[in-house]
Amino acid sequence: MTRSKYLASLTDEKRRQLERRLHDRQTKLCFICDEVIDLVLHKGEIDIDHIDPLAKDGLDAENNFALTHSSCNRSKGTSNLEVARRLAEFERLQEQARQAGKRGANLGDVLERHGGSKAQLRIRSKNGNAEFSLSEVGLNEIRRVPLLQDKLSGMQSFFTSLPLEYLHHDDRINPRSIGSNIRGLIEEFRDSRPQLHVALAWWEASEDDAGEIKVFDGQHKAAAQILLGVRELPVRIFVTPDTNVLLQANTNAGGKLRQVAFDTAVMRHLGSTLYAERVNQFRNLRGLSDNDYSFSEQDLVRFFRGEQREMKRYIVDAQRDAVMRAPANSLVEFVEWAGKGANRPLSYTAIERSFFKEFLYKEALDSSIDQELEQGTNPRQLERKQLICIMNLFAEVFFIGKWDPEIGGRRIENRLRDGDTIQQSHLRAWRVAREEVLANLLRWLRLVIENYFAYTGQMYHNDRLLHQQLPDSLWDRMRNFLTNISSLPCWIDRDFSGSIFGPKRNLDFWERVFRTGKTPDGTQVLAQPLDLSQLIVPREGNSKGRHELTNSA
């Protein structure tokens, strides 16, 4: 921060007077976090800073000063105070969304906070124009804008600018939460750089000829501008479109076209939505009732002949999405949905490359979708339920009551090398959650299941391990295996912070460690190679029954 000559010239009394004036002007609230500043209780922990930084030609004068908590001012990084204020507001929205069980805040949350999403619009097509009035906000004149027709899709749309009251978020086509890149967009717009891509929305009339303007693309840019106080946004509106086509286009933009940086979890959710759309489309075209599931996944793949590969992916995406969004899945609270952050130990990608890779059947089934559904032995139903049980077991052994979000994972191995004290249970959770470690552990857990069937002389389908009911005795073996794995000294060995757990390792590295006890260069990590026959033997006190895992699954 560039030093203020104005502040440096003030006597202690003059500075206290300035603090009191700013305190009154800001109604006793911190400029950044909007929480109370007490001039007595917070004495020595209050900053006066420039709203517009001196480095960006901000004035070194009282009308460019604001009062903040010192901690808030330190946490803003290189942002100016106005940007920091908007980011703090957004972080509060994020926390509220998480408390409500959502992944994070989206455009709908931002609109709701700023008075949006209140009104519907009536649109009339006349003489090649779209006509409408914004009477809900007191603008009663009739607006007319050209109605354009897309030459390839045939869809009609128009461009206009609408008050926030008329804008709504479409969380079906765009289920994404807003990511950390909102900071960059806020800084861009704060520096008066224009929006290069307008938001996309659609409209369809309901019974009374009014409909919501549903924004499905451009939510990050829209949210950034709203947080900065913009009350009206430019938007392109598709009139009475086929929303399934928009859904497919938006999915392709984040998938095979790579036009939008959708994280993997969002792509799975979109795939799940498309699966449900295809099921409804299949029933409609076959004249089946809405609750008819007498057809198979293979029937769907054959029916949608031009997109067979995509259809198979939608089927598996639906299963992935159902597992990760199940209220009974206690592992989810330890998963970072986009990338691997410092607050949660697991990334969604690590879940895909371990749990889903080892246990989800990736092909379409030829049995009817509703086969044995009421009996609870439907193959997909069993697969989903038992995979959630495995994830709950993993959460119980390694994360619940062990992972401390206050410690987090930021530079944790570096902190160890610097002499910081990290709880052993927390360190174990962080190291086990490394993608290359987790993937290998799940390979061994799969081996526990296969070994059980071989030992008991039972037939099993190698690719469909969870499509049959696993017996209680096998669940006991899996619990024993994970509990014994958790006791390995390598997870809490501080000396490994700069070597074994320093750089990112590949799958082969940990495959070799588990198989031989040593790294490829011969460093001893385990006292001996993993021995499955020993690892499935119970430890003292390890008697929790499987029914406790499956009660809510």
- Domain CATH for 45: 3.40.1800
Query: Do 111 and 84 fall into the same domain?
Result: no
Mapped onto helix, strand or coil, the DSSP state of residue 368 is: strand
Average pLDDT of span 177-186: 82
Domain identity same for 480 and 541:
yes
- pLDDT score of 259 more than 70: no
Q: Is residue 333 part of a domain?
A: no
Are 313 and 255 a contacting pair, CB within 8 Å?
Answer: no
Residue with tokens 């499905």: 216
Look at residue 526 and tell me if it is in a domain. Answer: yes
Q: If you average pLDDT over every residue of the chain, what do you get?
A: 88
Per-residue pLDDT, averaged over 214-243, amounts to: 94
Same domain, 74 and 118: no
pLDDT of residue 375: 87
> Poorest-confidence range of 14-18, 319-323, 447-451, 543-547?
543-547
Q: Give the pLDDT confidence score for residue 144 in this predicted structure.
A: 96
User: Does residue 442 lie in a domain region?
Assistant: yes
pLDDT-based confidence at residue 552 (cuts at 50, 70, 90) = very low
Tell me the per-residue pLDDT of 448-476, one tens digit each, with 9 for 90 and over: 999 999 999 888 888 999 999 999 999 99
Q: Is the same domain home to 535 and 402?
A: yes
Residue at a domain's end among 219, 242, 265: 242
pLDDT on residue 547: 39
Q: How many domains does the chain have?
A: 3
Q: How confident is the model at residue 274 (pLDDT cuts 50, 70, 90)?
A: confident
Query: Are both 28 and 142 inside the same structural domain?
Result: no
The reply to whether 27 and 58 lie within a common domain is: yes
58 with 141, same domain: the answer is no
* Statement to judge: residues 47 and 170 lie in one domain: no
Pair (25, 147) in one structural domain: no
Q: Is the pLDDT of residue 550 over 50?
A: no
Asked whether residue 374 carries a pLDDT value surpassing 90, the answer given is no
What's 129's domain CATH number? 3.90.1530.10
Tell whether 399 and 520 lie within a shared domain. yes
24 and 144: one domain?
A: no
Query: Helices in 256-338 by DSSP H: which ranges?
Result: 264-286, 297-303, 308-324
Q: Indicate whether 260 belongs to any domain.
A: no
> Is residue 187 included in any domain, yes or no?
yes
Instruction: Classify residue 382: in a domain, yes or no.
Output: no
Same domain, 115 and 71: no
- Whether 367 shows a pLDDT value over 80: the answer reads yes
Q: Which tens digits make up the pLDDT trace of 44-72?
A: 888 888 888 777 777 888 888 999 988 88
Out of 265-269, 393-397, 489-493, 540-544, pick the least confident: 540-544
Does 290 fall in a domain? no
Select from 180, 210, 242 the last residue of a domain.
242
pLDDT at 350: 93
In 32-173, where do the E strands start and end? 46-50, 65-69, 121-122, 124-126, 129-134, 139-146, 148-149, 156-163, 167-169
Whole-number Å distance between alpha carbons of 215 and 261: 18
Please give the residue range of the domain that contains residue 47.
5-88
Is 70 exceeded by the pLDDT of residue 126? yes
Contacts of 380 (CB under 8 A, 6+ apart): 319, 365, 369, 467
Average pLDDT over residues 416-444: 95
Q: Is residue 18 part of a domain?
A: yes
**Average pLDDT estimate for 85-95:** 87
pLDDT of 510 > 90? The answer is yes
pLDDT of residue 266: 60
Please give the average per-residue pLDDT across 328-350, as a whole number: 84
pLDDT at 405: 86
